[in-house]
Chain A
């Protein structure tokens, strides 16, 4: 039979006390921090997984920033294009009126003045700045894209942002397509010609401008529709993003956060184990004192 010495009893009791203390400490730490994966050694296999989830979350959230900047510019562009559409519509009304044989030279002269004013307003709007950026200049965002004579200084640049991983949206619409001959007719040229024709009281020439004005109206509208389309994509991307973030946060929480009732139960068990270990120690003390 094995000889059981006092030292063995003490060592045993000390070992269990130390272990119970350590277990109690770990359980308390988990409950207090709410984390089960606080450092890689807590769950090495889950660490790499957590890393990829964190990276995905950061990527989704960065999409939010880009998308909101794009949204601001597109909304601004959409509004400006709407205003320009209204102004082009007004110019077309004037052309229709001017093409009427009943109009006097004086009234056509007045119309010419209004058309010139409309052209200047449209040009000012085509140099609109939203969020610090000239929105119709393509990549040329730092300077007004249209000169006073209607010369276009911008380019065809499509400024893209990532709204979702793998999904890019264009943050601008083309000023060239909306206002210059590249999109159909040269809007500023047409308006200048209309002004000239009205001033010259040339009824036939004014009538001939109507088709161009219709085209101009359509090309402005077309870019406005494009802006609206991108805004829809941004909006639906936003919904997908919000869903993905919630889903990833759940997975992340499952990996990292403690299940609170479980952790509290475990802490109670650890407490119990510690109490028992202390009791054992004091009983051993009793026994050895009796001897």
Chain B
């Protein structure tokens, strides 16, 4: 086993001991580094690999190894994107729900009921100016509630635009940071240095990018990372694309694009927080708004048709109660009473027969009866049912978003726990290691002292 077949010389043993002292000092250094970063987010524990050399040289402290797993990291990055998406949607959907779903007696539903109720009262006293005025106020209140709901939804879309715009500078910073770290890691490791901390920083930046824009990361052959969104590379090597917010020429809504030329529209492919803003703005809100517009259209059209068939106290027929909407789109946002009716309560068409004025309230009853008719959702539901369905749908989406947020948070926690288990710092364990290194250091020092004595003995032999 001995190289020369002879026992090692005393001077060789001196080398072994001093190597051992250095190795265990490095061990203590690793422990110190680990303990210092025990609660640093994204920090990966360093494990020091000690390996025996031949007996002439003793032990060697190899480079401190990062306890990490790229596979797990990729999973965590993707899961972070999903969780950020789910959690960013939650408040949006609650806001949409609030815009539509006031169940109190001040809400949209109560206004609709109050208008139909006022038609019934009007049928009892079509000749009473106060009753006519009250009916107009109810109808006007309903129109105002519908308008407010549509305006609130529109405001939410504008807010989503602003939020998308506001996220981009942070995302661009992170993209540049990953590109810079790609370069720094390559340089550091190319010259044999330790880039562990830089790698931890890059992992954190990747996680941030996943959260903000749903980016995925691939490791390239040179151990750099490529950042992808929807299959498009945003970072490769030390080059990062820049994202810009540009208004869509058709809708005026903000698009997320890669600064050109040639430029590329990423709006439909982004995930994470940005994806949630986009999904809510381009999916959830327009869907609810479409239903609300349809409801407003059906309401105005059916009541107008009935109203136009009746006669006002002035004997005139053919007038609308609600201003005729220009089209289904925008019907809710523009819902108002017809100008003629607003100007004069006599125009309210309570009578069926112009010869039977003013006590004829039959048309008011006819209008009240529209409450029972399936006028909404393509003739399958009453107006009130359609409103209930719209509110229930908004509520269901809000509830689902909350549940999904909780589910994704749980999954993230599980993965984080796995990562912590693999890469985290257990302080007790580090303290044990510290004790071990200390003992080994003391022992090596003792060997050194003994060697010294032996050498002294040898030197003083004469």
- Interface residues of chain A, those whose CB is within 8 Å of chain B, are 2-8, 10-12, 15, 37-45, 47-52, 54-55, 57-59, 61-63, 65-66, 69-70, 131-133, 137-142, 155, 157, 159-162, 165, 168, 171, 256, 288, 291
Contact = CB atoms under 8 A, between A and B. Distances in A.
Of residues A40, A70, A132, which shows the largest number of chain B Cβ atoms within 10 Å of its Cβ? A40
Given A4-B421, A41-B398, A161-B123, A52 B359 contact: no
A22 to B, nearest CB: 10
Contacts of A165: 372
Contacts of B356: 138-140, 155, 157
Contacts of A65: 117, 120-121, 124
Interface string B104-130: 000001101110111011011101100
A55 B371 contact: yes
Interface string B337-360: 000000000000001010111111
Interface string B135-170: 000000000000000000000000000000000000
A141 B124 contact: no
Given A8-B420, A52-B384, A162-B123, 15 more contacts: A6-B426, A37-B103, A40-B394, A41-B97, A44-B393, A51-B388, A51-B391, A52-B385, A58-B114, A133-B359, A137-B359, A159-B124, A159-B361, A160-B365, A168-B365
A111 B204 CA distance: 114
Contacts of B382: 55
B32 to A, nearest CB: 16
B264 interface: no
A17 B432 CA distance: 31
Contacts, number: 196
B396 A41 contact: yes
B78 interface: no
A57 B382 CA distance: 16
A218 to B, nearest CB: 26
Chain B interface secondary structure, helix, strand, loop or mixed? helix
Interface string B418-456: 001110111111010000000000000000000000000
A48 B38 contact: no
A249 to B, nearest CB: 13
Contacts of B416: 11
Q: A51, A65, A161 — which one has the most chain B CB atoms within 10 A of its CB? A: A51
A180 to B, nearest CB: 18
24 contacts: A5-B426, A6-B426, A7-B424, A7-B425, A8-B421, A37-B103, A39-B98, A40-B97, A40-B398, A41-B97, A45-B392, A48-B389, A51-B384, A66-B123, A69-B124, A137-B359, A138-B356, A139-B356, A139-B360, A141-B359, A159-B359, A161-B123, A162-B120, A291-B431
A58 B113 contact: yes
Contact of B127 (A70, A133, A160): A133
B417 interface: yes
Contact of A62 (B117, B127, B128): B117
Contacts of B103: 37-40, 47, 50, 54, 256
A141 to B, nearest CB: 3
Contacts of A59: 113, 116-117, 120, 371
B18 interface: no
Contacts of A47: 101, 103, 388, 391-392, 395
B109 A61 contact: no
Most-contacted residue by chain B among A8, A42, A49, A142 (CB, 10 A): A8
Nearest to B112: A55
Contacts of B385: 48, 51-52
A54 B424 contact: no
Contact of A2 (B102, B371, B384, B421): B421
Contacts of B254: none
Contacts of B4: none
Given A133-B127, A159-B359, A291 B427 contact: yes
A3 B392 contact: no
B290 interface: no
A139 B357 contact: yes
B431 A138 contact: no
Contacts of A131: 125
Nearest to B123: A161
Contact of B358 (A15, A45, A57, A141): A141
A39 B104 CA distance: 9
Given A3-B424, A6-B425, A51-B387, A63 B394 contact: no
Contact of B124 (A12, A50, A52, A70): A70
A66 B120 contact: yes
A66 B128 CA distance: 13
Contacts of A58: 110, 113-114, 116-117
Given A7-B38, A159-B361, A160-B365, A44 B399 contact: yes
Contacts of A62: 116-118, 120-121, 368
A39 B117 contact: no
A69 B125 contact: yes
B68 interface: no
A250 B288 CA distance: 31
A5 B421 contact: yes
Nearest to A53: B388
B416 to A, nearest CB: 7
A52 B98 contact: no
A188 to B, nearest CB: 22
B303 to A, nearest CB: 16
A164 to B, nearest CB: 11
A66 B124 contact: yes
Nearest to A19: B406
B240 to A, nearest CB: 31
B154 to A, nearest CB: 20
B94 interface: yes
Given A58-B117, A65-B124, A141-B359, A42 B420 contact: no
A54 B113 contact: yes
B413 interface: yes
Contacts of A5: 38, 420-421, 424-427
Given A3-B426, A47-B392, A54-B110, A39 B365 contact: no
B283 to A, nearest CB: 18
A3 B101 contact: no
Nearest to A47: B392
A7 B355 contact: no
A126 B360 CA distance: 20
A54 B101 contact: no
B46 interface: no
A132 B129 CA distance: 11
Nearest to A8: B420
B120 A63 contact: yes
A159 B382 CA distance: 27
Contacts of B392: 40, 44-45, 47-48, 51
Nearest to B381: A48
